[in-house]
Amino acid sequence: MNVHNKPNAPVLDSYWMPFTANRQFKAAPRLLAAAEGMYYTSSDGRQVLDGTAGLWCVNAGHGRRQIASAVERQLTQMDFAPSFQMGHPIAFDFAERLAEIAPGPDGAKLDRVFYTGSGSESVDTALKIAIAYQRAIGQGTRTRLVGRERGYHGVGFGGISVGGIVNNRRVFPQLAGSDHLRHTHDLARNAYVKGQPEHGAELADDLERLVALHGAETIAACIVEPVAGSTGVLIPPKGYLEKLRAICDKHGILLIFDEVITGFGRLGAAFATDYFGVTPDLVTTAKGLTNGAIPMGAVFSSRKVHDALMHGPENAIELFHGYTYSGHPAACAAGIATLDIYRDEGLFTRGAELQDDWHAAMHSLKGLPHIIDIRTIGLIAGIELAARDGAPGARAYDVFVDCFEKGLLIRVTGDIIAFSPPLIAEKTHFEDIVSILGDALKRAA
């Protein structure tokens, strides 16, 4: 089968697409062919405004020549080098640059960096580091991992075990002993909020409940997204993250923030850790790390965790973990060029500058058909729709297709629309988003 039965169009049969209704998609494909700045160009030549920074990753906008040139230079100089018992300068250089902007306050930055190839690998890496740390400090009974309902931590077996999305879990076995906090989403008390909602800090006490149930001496780590993205933009209630931190400290549990979407400027600070002023022990990242240009992830570790593992004979490998592509030279080159752009264009704080216009634009949609909540933080918005009777997700999917046809890329999860535009956006882009989405909502049955 070939798209639109046109000559030279791609044949669609062989590619088994991820997180996609393959047969539905291939019957009516949506193909993107080029990208520049705030826009994609579809395969039929239309401009499509990127309301989602690709998949929460293209924070500096598309088509950045500086990144492309850096990658080309690196590939020409040295395409690949092994990272096991070998090193190459650019991997160290990039880690030093990352250490400078690492999450956490000055003097207590999480400035030890472990490279991965994706967000899922970052999550599984952080979970393994947490368990290894506990063992290294004589707490080897701590192997249990705690996540949260409606959390998304990628698709590795570790990530789905602590994740809280039923469709990602029901078919697959999970790590024994993993358990979950309740999610914090509460429309009855917190609808239509700009920034952090007032109600729900007490939900962090669920961790105390799990300690009482399982025993603190069995729990290695608790992982949460500071702002949950994939399950529809769930913003932490005021005081919630602080409480989680305190309970983890009280019981010797490591706290992991999954910043795969919130890292690199999304909230108007370099990391959500900095934005909320709550410092975890480990931070997982990917996506914005390289502006999405080359796949890469990184785990930022506190010195406490890192240094606890730097013991034993000096010829012993401290952590039996790593990937062929950990610290890939081309990815490091992309990452350094990306950090240069973030710095030179002030993109880590641009979300804070744009925030008022963004929030005003998104909340102006209130009152349009089907909307039951609008929530915003930094340069993120979640717009929740009432589900169609007996067909959850169908209404938002129709809006998604309609918007794409009219020139706007949005992201839907169930009946929630999520926005996370590139940080180079201007106010006029917000107006276009409101206009195209508003019309689509009026058309949606």
Ligand X SMILES: Cc1ncc(COP(=O)(O)O)c(C=O)c1O
Where on the chain is the footprint of ligand X (CB under 6 A)?
118-120, 123, 152-154, 225, 229-230, 258, 260-261, 286
Phi/psi for 384 (5° steps) reads: -100, 130
Amino acid at 215: G
CA 361 to chain centroid: 23
Q: How far apart are CA 382 and CA 233, in angstroms?
A: 5
Task: Give least dist CB 286 to ligand X, A.
Answer: 5
- Are 416 and 383 within 8 A, CB to CB? yes
Q: What do you get for the CA distance between the two ends of the chain, in Å?
A: 31
What is the residue-wise DSSP string for 100-150?
A: HT-SS-TTS---EEEEESSHHHHHHHHHHHHHHHHHHTT-TT--EEEEETT
Closer Cβ to ligand X, 216 or 224, answer by number? 224
Closer Cβ to ligand X, 122 or 190, answer by number? 122
- Are 227 and 152 within 8 A, CB to CB? no
Which residue's C-beta sits nearest to ligand X? 119
Task: Give least dist CB 44 to ligand X, A.
Answer: 28
Task: Give least dist CB 288 to ligand X, A.
Answer: 11
Task: Give least dist CB 263 to ligand X, A.
Answer: 9
Instruction: Name the burial class of residue 53, with classes exposed (0-12), middle (13-18) and buried (19+) by CB atoms within 10 angstroms of its CB.
Output: buried
CA nearest neighbour of 142 among 254, 244, 224: 254
Task: Give least dist CB 215 to ligand X, A.
Answer: 28
Closer Cβ to ligand X, 211 or 262, answer by number? 262
Task: Give least dist CB 39 to ligand X, A.
Answer: 22
Closer Cβ to ligand X, 42 or 118, answer by number? 118
Closer Cβ to ligand X, 211 or 413, answer by number? 413
Task: Give least dist CB 47 to ligand X, A.
Answer: 25
- Are 201 and 240 within 8 A, CB to CB? yes
- Are 197 and 235 within 8 A, CB to CB? yes
Phi/psi for 405 (5° steps) reads: -65, -30
Closer Cβ to ligand X, 225 or 373, answer by number? 225
Task: Give least dist CB 419 to ligand X, A.
Answer: 14
Task: State the virtual CA torsion across 29, 33, 35, 40 in degrees, nearest 10.
Answer: -30
Closer Cβ to ligand X, 15 or 92, answer by number? 15
Task: Give least dist CB 226 to ligand X, A.
Answer: 9
Q: How far apart are CA 369 and CA 245, in angstroms?
A: 40
- Are 170 and 204 within 8 A, CB to CB? no
Closer Cβ to ligand X, 216 or 418, answer by number? 418
Q: How far apart are CA 329 and CA 342, in angstroms?
A: 20
Closer Cβ to ligand X, 237 or 292, answer by number? 292
Closer Cβ to ligand X, 164 or 229, answer by number? 229
Q: How far apart are CA 69 and CA 17, in angstroms?
A: 29
Task: Give least dist CB 228 to ligand X, A.
Answer: 7
| CB contact set of 82 (below 8 Å; sequence gap of 6+) | 324
Neighbour tally for 51: CB within 10 Å: 25
Closer Cβ to ligand X, 133 or 152, answer by number? 152
Q: Which two tokens stand for residue 13?
A: 């049969």
Task: Give least dist CB 230 to ligand X, A.
Answer: 5
